[in-house]
Amino acid sequence: MSNRGSRKQAFQELERFIARRAPRADAGLPAISLFSGGGISDLGYQYAGFDFAVHSELNPDRAKLCAENFPRSEIVTGDLREEWREVVERYEAVHDERPALLTVTPPCQGMSSSNPSRGKVSEPDGQGRNERNLLLLAAVPIIERLRPSCVLVENVPQILLRTIQLPCHEQPTGLVESFFAKLAGYVPFTGVVQMADYGVPQVRRRSVVVLLDGQLPTVSRLKSRRLLPWPKATHSDSPADGKRKWVTVENWFRTRAYRRLDARSAEAARDPKDPLHFVPCYPSGRYSWVSEIPPRSGRSAYENDECPHCGNGGVETGLVHCPHCHGVMSNRPHIVDADGNVRLISGFKSSYRRMYPNRPAPTVTTAGSHLGSDYKIHPWENRVLSIRECLELQCIPKSYRWDAAIDQGRFYLIREVVGEAIPPWFTYLHGRVLRQLLSGKVPARSLACAEAE
């Protein structure tokens, strides 16, 4: 099959996944979700044949989304450190057998690369005081009590390097290592995966930690063959060995039927037929920051070089006043302070910048509606991405219901849970190989190899 035909087939597979109906919520392997968010990451595992019996989520609004989309699951709302016994009791009330899968996805803000202290992952006196970094350990008593066959931890890559200071230890210790030390009888596998390597149309690196019960017959076979319990990559930035090319944002958008939007006015910024396909609109001055960036250029608003007053072109990057007429370069991101002084907004080189059309989309984040966040401007239209576009870049099935958020106008909530999730397409692929491993099979051709990590 040609590369073009292979790419088309891959698109079709992903299209079918996004368009498919909600899976049957019975006859699946029992599972539990901790720090569930809206349950988006769990969707893929559900499609792969896991039946979630309990979801645990601190935020009541997110818990409502879980309840709406996992009607058979018991929803435990509150701080897991206080409610872990409730999780155990709710599970034991409906299942005599131990869980096949327990997913743990604690908040990552304390370790995210977007955090100002991101360079301090090895300094426990800095970020280590952030209690969110210790939430992973809140799952330990549940695991000890219920002994799931498989424990999955997903987070930002920095979690693998995070050090913490525990009260009972004189020296700092690794967070993940502390987690492993408390769970005797499990064999851990750790790695970092790139979602674009699985056909997801965005770059998104995440750590994957899988702990398998050491008594499973497949564990020794995985170890002896240096295989990892997650799927092997199918795509690459530089394809080889039969892999496909990463899906670019332009190729992906060409397969969609989005209404064209523009941030110049409220009417132009909204699709009246889709409540999730809309974007913020901007006043004329701020709008020029976006509209004057050449389409498909991947350039930043800081590089807009034509003076809006005298038309002088080639104004040097970094200037807030035109050297010819001394007018304000109002088409560049700037602010006016209380004294009337004008200065450019400070920011990263990736701020106020269009996405590159010939690359996968940048990581979908909770700040997707913010112009000044990393590469958040549409590749060729004058706007940021809509919620609908973010949903599909995250490969979230259309069967997922958002009524609990839409009915109350809480669109920020949707952007938050979408930006925090791992794409369900990956968790679906992962869930399929986990099911085989738990059944005693080792699908060697479908698994990643330790040598490639």
The answer to whether residue 404 sits within a structural domain is no
The answer to whether residue 215 sits within a structural domain is yes
Whole-Å CA distances, 8 to 13, 188, 255: 9, 36, 10
Instruction: Name the token pair of 118.
Output: 């991101």
Give bridge partners of residue 244 from the DSSP assignment.
235
CATH number at residue 217: 3.40.50.150
The answer to whether residue 91 sits within a structural domain is yes
* Structure confidence at residue 258 (pLDDT): 94
The answer to whether residue 34 sits within a structural domain is yes
The domain of 105 spans 3-246+422-452
The answer to whether residue 132 sits within a structural domain is yes
The answer to whether residue 146 sits within a structural domain is yes
* Structure confidence at residue 218 (pLDDT): 97
The answer to whether residue 382 sits within a structural domain is no
Model confidence, pTM: 0.91
Three-class SS state of 81:
helix
* Structure confidence at residue 108 (pLDDT): 65
The CA R_g of the chain, rounded to the nearest whole Å, is: 24
Residues 6+ apart with CB under 8 A from 189: 209, 210, 211, 212, 222, 228, 229, 230
Does residue 64 contact residue 85 with C-beta atoms inside 8 Å?
no
Instruction: Name the token pair of 321.
Output: 């006043």
Instruction: Name the token pair of 259.
Output: 């209404």
Q: Which of 254, 223, 274 is nearest to 447 (CA)?
A: 223
> What burial letters (b/e) apply to 105-129, b meaning 16+ CB within 10 Å?
bbbbebbbeebeeeebbeebeebbe
Over its length of 453 residues, how does the chain's per-residue pLDDT go in tens digits?
455 556 667 678 899 999 988 776 666 999 999 999 999 999 999 999 999 999 999 999 999 999 999 999 999 999 999 999 999 999 999 999 999 999 999 986 554 444 444 444 555 534 444 566 688 999 999 999 999 999 999 998 888 888 776 666 556 678 888 899 999 999 999 999 999 999 999 999 999 999 999 999 999 999 999 999 999 999 999 988 889 999 999 999 998 999 999 999 999 999 999 999 999 999 999 999 999 999 999 999 999 999 999 999 999 999 999 999 999 999 999 999 988 999 999 877 889 999 999 999 999 999 999 998 889 999 999 999 999 999 999 999 999 999 999 999 999 999 999 999 999 999 999 999 999 999 999 999 999 998 744
Q: How far apart are the C-alpha atoms of 68 and 336, rounded to whole Å?
A: 46
| Domains in the chain, number | 1
Three-class SS state of 59:
coil
The answer to whether residue 109 sits within a structural domain is yes
**Amino acid making up residue 72:** R
Task: Please count the residues of the chain.
Answer: 453
